[in-house]
Chains A and B, each alone.
Chain A
Amino acid sequence: MFSYKFQWNQAFARLPQMLDGALITMQIAILSMVLGILLAIVLTVFRRSGSRVLSGIATSWVEIARNTPALFQIYMAHFGVATFGIHFNPFTSLLIGITFNNAGYLAENFRGALKAIPETQTRAGRSLGMTSNQAFGYIMLPQMLRIAFLPMTNQMVWAILMTSLGVTVGMSTDLYGVTQALNALTFRTFELFALAGVVFYVIVKLIQFAARLIAMRLFRY
C-alpha cells in the first residue's frame, strides 16, 4: 500500500543513543521542577509579603512566564541575555528557560491552592503562639503543596515535553537533540522521530504512574 520503504532497523540500532538522551531529558526536567517549586514558593511568599517591590517582581515574573511562549523564554535565556555579556551553555540556558516557566505556572497554582485553605487556620495557628512565618511554613505550606499536587504533576509532564525546545539553543545531548542529530546523518526522519515519540510517551506515562503512587500515600485519609 505504501511506496515508502520503512527501515526500522536503522532507528532501532540507534535506540541506545536515544536512551542516553532520555536520561539527560529526565535530568533537566527533574532539576527544573525542583528549582521551579522552590522558586515558586519564594514567589508566593513575595506576593503575600505586602511589599510593593517584592510583589511587583513576583507578579511580573508570573505574568511573563505565563503569557509568552516557552520557546521564546528559552531563546531569551541564551541569545537575549548574552547581549549583556552573560553566557550560559545550552544545558544551562535550557534549564533556566524551563525553570523560569515552571516557577511562573507553579506560583499561580500555589496561589489558587492557598485560597482553598480557610483563613481561620492561620488565625488558629497565630493564637497558638506561632509567628506569621511559622503559621505559613507549618500550616499553609504543606497543605498548599498537597492541594497543588495534581497541577505539579502536569507541570512535570510539560517540563519533559519542553526539553525538546533545547535544540534551538544548541542543545544536542537530550532526547530530541540526539534524534535530530541522527536524522541529519541518516535522514530516516519518520522512523527516528516515531521512536523518539514512543520514548517520550513512555517517560510521561512512568511519571504519571509514579505520581499516582505518591498521591495514594498523600491522600489516603
Chain B
Amino acid sequence: MKHWNALAAIAVAVACLSTPAHADKLDDIISSGTLRCAVVLDFPPMGSRDADNNPIGFDVDYCNDLAKALGVTAEIVETPFPERIPALMSGQVDVGVASTSDTLERAKTVGFSVPYFAFEMVVTASDKSGIKSFDDMKGKTVGATAGTFEAIALEKQVTEWGAGEFRPYQTQADVFLALSQGQLDATVSTSTVAQANVKTGNYPGIAVVGKAPFDIDYVALFTNRDEYGFINYLNLFVNQQVRTGRYAELFEKWVGGEVPSLTVPNAYR
C-alpha cells in the first residue's frame, strides 16, 4: 500500500512538471529578474571577447539595452552558431540576440521579431589562392560557419558548380583560422564580420575581394514561436531602438559607415 502512495505521489509530481506553465514568457523574465540572451561571441564586431575575456559587441550591447528596457539584468550565454536555436528550444536562454537570419524554414520552429540588423555578404580569400571574385571560387576549397545563412547558400552553390569542396566549421573563428592557415581558399561571410576580422591583423594574408551575389541577410531576434506577447515586445523594442537613434549610435560604435536600412522596399512585414 505504501508503495502505491509513493507511486501516486511520483505520478502527480510528473504530471505537474509536464503541464505547460501558463504565465507567459514576458512575465517570467520580468519576475525572474534576468534576461538570458544567446549571443555568438566569435563573430566580431557583433559579438567577441575583450582582453579580460568579457563579452563585448553590437549584440551584447543590444541585449543589455533590451534588459534595461525590461528592467532586469542581462545574462550573456555564449552559443556557437549551430547551437543557437537548440539553446533556446531547450530553455537555456530566453531570447536569441545572435545575428540570426529569419528564414522561413527556421520560422517553422522559432518566432522571429522584425529585423534588427542587415548584412551584405562578401567573399574573403587568402592572397595565395588568386581568387578575385565570387565566380573565381568555382573549383576551390571554400568554407563557412555551419548552420548560417551564408553556409547554406554557399553549399548549394558549390553543389551547383559541381566542382570544389565545401567545409562547414563549427565557429566563425575556425573559418578564419582555417583561411589564414591556408586550409581554405576562400569564405563567404557577412561584410561587417569580414572587415572586422581582416582589420584585427590576427589573420595575415587574407583580404576581402568582393561581394557575394546572395540576398541581403536580414537578421532578427528570436524567441519561442508561441510567445506572441514577448515577440510583440521585441518588435516594438527594435522599432524604438531605430526611432531613438540608439541603433545608429551602436552601428557607429561597432561597425561604422552607412547605416543599413532595416526595411524591405514595397513590402509589409
Is B a genuine binding partner of A? yes
A residues with CB within 8 A of B? 1-3, 78-79, 82-83, 85, 87, 89-90, 167-170, 172, 177, 180-181, 183-189
Report yes or no: B86 in contact with A85, Cβ–Cβ below 8 A.
Answer: no
Given contacts A180-B82, A184-B147, contact A170 B152 (CB under 8 A): no
Check if B89 sits within 8 Å of A187, measured CB to CB.
yes
- Whether A172 pairs with B167 at a CB distance below 8 angstroms is yes
Q: Please name the 4 residue pairs, one residue from A and one from B, whose CB atoms are nearest each other, closest first.
A: A184-B147, A170-B167, A82-B181, A187-B109
- Contact between A87 and B183 (Cβ–Cβ < 8 Å)? yes
| Residue of A2, A83, A184, A189 contacting most chain B CB atoms (<10 Å) | A184
Q: How far is the CB of A96 from chain B (nearest CB, A)?
A: 14
B167 and chain A: residue at smallest CB distance: A170
User: Out of B85, B86, B89, B178, which one reaches A170, CB within 8 Å?
Assistant: B178
A168–B105 CB distance below 8 A: no
Q: What is the distance, in angstroms, from B259's C-beta to the closest C-beta of chain A?
A: 29
Q: How far is the CA of A78 from the CA of B141 in the complex (A)?
A: 15
In the assembled complex, the CB of B28 is this many whole angstroms from the nearest CB of chain A, namely 15
Take A83-B181, A85-B182 as given contacts and tell me if A172 and B89 are in contact as well, using a CB distance cutoff of 8 Å.
Answer: no
A sample of 23 inter-chain contacts (CB < 8 A) reads: A79-B174, A79-B178, A82-B178, A82-B183, A87-B181, A90-B167, A168-B170, A170-B169, A170-B178, A172-B146, A172-B167, A172-B168, A180-B82, A180-B146, A181-B147, A181-B168, A185-B152, A186-B105, A186-B109, A187-B105, A187-B109, A189-B89, A189-B90
Highest count of chain A CB atoms <10 Å: which of B85, B105, B152, B183:
B183
Contact indicator A170/B106 (Cβ below 8 Å)? no
10 more CB-based (< 8 A) A-B contacts, given A169-B169, A184-B146, A187-B89: A1-B18, A87-B182, A168-B170, A172-B146, A180-B147, A184-B82, A184-B152, A187-B86, A187-B105, A187-B109
Contact of A189 with B86 at beta-carbon distance under 8 Å, contacts A82-B183, A170-B143, A170-B174 already known:
yes
Contact assessment for A187 and B85 in the assembled complex, using a CB-CB cutoff below 8 Å: yes
A124 nearest CB across to chain B (Å) = 54
CA distance A52 to B184 in the complex (A): 40
User: A185–B108 Cα gap in the complex (Å)?
Assistant: 11
Smallest Cβ-Cβ distance to B15: which chain A residue: A1
Q: Indicate if B20 sits at the interface (CB-CB under 8 A).
A: yes
B120 within 8 A of A: no
Q: Is B7 in contact with chain A by the CB < 8 A criterion?
A: no
Query: CB of B165 within 8 A of chain A?
Result: yes
Cβ distance A145 to chain B, nearest Cβ, rounded Å: 37
Docked complex Cα distance between A82 and B174 (Å): 12
Neighbouring A residues of B106 by C-beta, 8 Å: 187
Q: How far is the CB of B89 from chain A (nearest CB, A)?
A: 7
Tell me the complex Cα distance, A187–B151, Å.
Answer: 15
State in angstroms the CA–CA spacing of A186 and B82 once bound together.
Answer: 11
Chain A contacts for B90, CB-based, 8 A: 189
- Return chain B residues, CB-CB under 8 Å to A90: 167
Residues of A close to B169: CB separation below 8 A: 169-170
- With a cutoff of 8 Å between Cβ atoms, the chain A residues found around residue B105 in the complex are 185-187
User: In the complex, A172→B166 CA distance in Å?
Assistant: 9
Output the nearest chain B residue to A180 by Cβ-Cβ distance.
B82
B85 CB contacts on chain A under 8 angstroms: 187, 189
Residues of A within 8 A of B182 (CB): 82, 85, 87
Q: By CB atoms of chain A within 10 A, which of B106, B146, B170 has the most? A: B146
